[in-house]
Amino acid sequence: MSTSRAMDATGAEDTAPNTMMETDLNAVDNNKQDRVNNMNSVEPVKIEIIWSIVLFFVFGHLSAIYGLYLMFTSTKLLTTFYGICSWILSGLGVTAGLHRLWSHKSYKAKLPLRFILMLMSTMAFENHIYEWCMDHRIHHKYTDTNSDPHNAKRGFFFSHIGWLVVRRHPDYYDKCLKIDMSDLKKDPIVMYQKKFYIPLLLLFCFIIPTIVPVYFWDETYVNAFFTSTMLRYIFTLNMTWLVNSAAHIWGKRPYDESINPSENLSVSLGALGEGWHNYHHVFPWDYKAAELGNYRANLTTAFIDFFSLIGWAYDMKVVSNDMVLKRANRTGDGSHPDGSHPDGDGIWGWDDSNISIEDRKLTTVINKKDD
């Protein structure tokens, strides 16, 4: 573990004190113990429903269904196209911003990109950056335990939407005090958005998306509100929620078969590349959030790569192929295409594909000759 200087998401340099190593090790031990304790207590406490949020989501989903009806009957094609673009924009705000940048620090972004991502994520209205990331860091550190806000062990419905309409488990509040959020407290963009969240979300999630089609191409207010605003908003929400629900239930587990998160292509398509969830939970610091080297089902990676080309995104972390394969062979379910499980775990000799590069390097070859 390094005690040297570290860069935070804002690009600012931190100087870690010399006592950091001991503190970090203690923190790691405490976290491990917390995890063990949590694994042993998965029984939820009594359910207390927050009816105002239930009403909001009922209204939201009914509005989205009406928006879908209008889309096929009276909404202009341009409005529908604009709604799709808004979904992608707000979705990327969640995936590239809230998730890969602010929650995981898997890359760094310069101020203009952080500002754009803040606006895009505000358009998605999934809570402000600070709280979204706190929830998500707790989700990763205490996955599928009572501390996890959307504990998938409580079923599909709970991890999809149910967790948002009931009071949180007491274990969760405990972890809110423990999880490190110091980097986000130092990011002025995050703090600005937190302070002005209500007016910002009204403006960017509801008012502007409704006014644009009316002002620029004479759409009706009803069509614009229900189609390009409510349908887009509820659709984006559900695509995000599927990562917490479906991608914690269905799919293969090539990297670690002992955890619920799984690889799910359908979720990846809807959530712009966030469905490669077994990989992501094993290597949460990889900016691709997947092993894929292409953009077929990972639009978010293409977005970050584009901003890296113009210098606004940098310091992207990538896990090496060797490390991925080693982990897949050690803990995966055998579904990794390059894994060794299907042929057995043993090694027959020098040129067996299972022998690690490290083992080959550390082997002494006597009287070596080039063939």
Chain contacts with Zn ion (rule: CB under 5 A): 261
Minimum CB–partner distance for residue 206 and Zn ion (Å): 27
What share of residues in the chain are helix, strand, coil (percent, to 5)?
60, 5, 35
Q: How far apart are CA 35 and CA 29, in angstroms?
A: 10
Distances in Å between the Cα of 238 and the Cα atoms of 64, 120, 243, 277 are 11, 17, 9, 16
**φ/ψ bin of 347: left (φ > 0), alpha (ψ from -120 to 50), beta (otherwise):** beta
Minimum CB–partner distance for residue 141 and Zn ion (Å): 11
Nearer of residues 261 and 332 to Zn ion, judged by Cβ: 261
Nearer of residues 116 and 290 to Zn ion, judged by Cβ: 290
Q: How far apart are CA 221 and CA 211, in angstroms?
A: 8
Any residues with CB less than 8 A from the CB of 47 and at least 6 apart, and which? 166
Minimum CB–partner distance for residue 115 and Zn ion (Å): 22
Any residues with CB less than 8 A from the CB of 66 and at least 6 apart, and which? 226, 230
Minimum CB–partner distance for residue 146 and Zn ion (Å): 15
Report which residue's Cβ sits closest to Zn ion: 261
Minimum CB–partner distance for residue 248 and Zn ion (Å): 6
Minimum CB–partner distance for residue 41 and Zn ion (Å): 20
Nearer of residues 190 and 200 to Zn ion, judged by Cβ: 190
Minimum CB–partner distance for residue 8 and Zn ion (Å): 18
Nearer of residues 67 and 261 to Zn ion, judged by Cβ: 261
Q: How far apart are CA 99 and CA 299, in angstroms?
A: 14
Nearer of residues 251 and 261 to Zn ion, judged by Cβ: 261
Any residues with CB less than 8 A from the CB of 246 and at least 6 apart, and which? 156, 160, 264, 266, 267, 275
Q: How far apart are CA 270 and CA 13, in angstroms?
A: 36
- 262 in Cβ contact with 242 (< 8 Å): no
Minimum CB–partner distance for residue 128 and Zn ion (Å): 17
Nearer of residues 209 and 261 to Zn ion, judged by Cβ: 261
**What phi, psi does 313 have (nearest 5°)?**
-115, 140
Nearer of residues 142 and 204 to Zn ion, judged by Cβ: 142
Q: What is the DSSP code string of 279-315?
A: HHHHSTT-TTSSS-SSSTT-HHHHHHHHHHHTTSEE-
Nearer of residues 261 and 339 to Zn ion, judged by Cβ: 261
